[in-house]
Amino acid sequence: MKLKITGIALAVAFAFAGAAQAQTQGKQSERKASHAEKEQIEATYKADKAKCDALKANAKDICMAEAKGKQKVAKAELDAKDEKDQAKAQKKVQDAKAEATYEVAKEKCDEQKGEAKDACMKQARVERDRAKGKAEKTADAKKEQRAASGSTAPERKPAK
């Protein structure tokens, strides 16, 4: 009888140890995947930046702003995958997109002079602020919706 109990205890211990090891390996593979995605973002940025080297003057500045913006958005999207509060994460992604669009618009406005440039810059700021405001309203609406439903659990990550 004592041998059976010992055998069962041993089997349970091995089961828990196996599950713990699998969980650890799962976290390690997630970290490796995240690291690989970060490296991919950096590689894409370097390639985009290299394309800009062939350009001159303001066209080069616009190209660089686009490359940097694309990189920042990709990083924000990668960070959003791991965020528990998806409403907040999506707001950060939308803010990054708004800022990237604004930086490119600013560079495009540099081609103009005088009042046309001022008007262009003002329009770029208005569009950025509008996009950020919309992102904030969306995030607030999601928080209110979650609060109204009585859910205290964080939103689920979207399936890949």
Q: What is the DSSP string of 72-125?
A: HHHHHHHHHHH-S-HHHHHHHHHHHHHHHHHHHHHHHHTTS-HHHHHHHHHHHH
Q: Which of 5-14, 16-25, 39-48 is most confident? A: 39-48
Residue 160 has pLDDT above 50, yes or no: no
| CA dist., res. 116 & res. 122, Å (int) | 10
Residue found under tokens 């609406």: 141
DSSP for 9-32, please give it.
HHHHHHHHHHHHHHHHHHHHHHHH
Secondary structure element (H or E) that encloses residue 149, with its range = helix 114-149
Give residue-wise pLDDT tens across range 58-102: 889 999 999 999 999 998 888 888 778 787 888 888 889 989 999
CA angle 28, 34, 40 (to 5 degrees): 140
pLDDT at residue 9 tops 80: no
- What single-letter amino acid sits at 27? K
Contact 80, 93 (CB under 8 A): yes
Given this model, what pLDDT does residue 68 score?
92
Q: Does residue 154 or residue 56 have the better pLDDT?
A: 56
**Over the stretch 89-143, which tens digit does the pLDDT of each residue have?**
888 888 899 899 999 898 898 888 889 888 998 998 899 888 888 878 777 777 7
Distance CA 59, CA 107 (A): 9
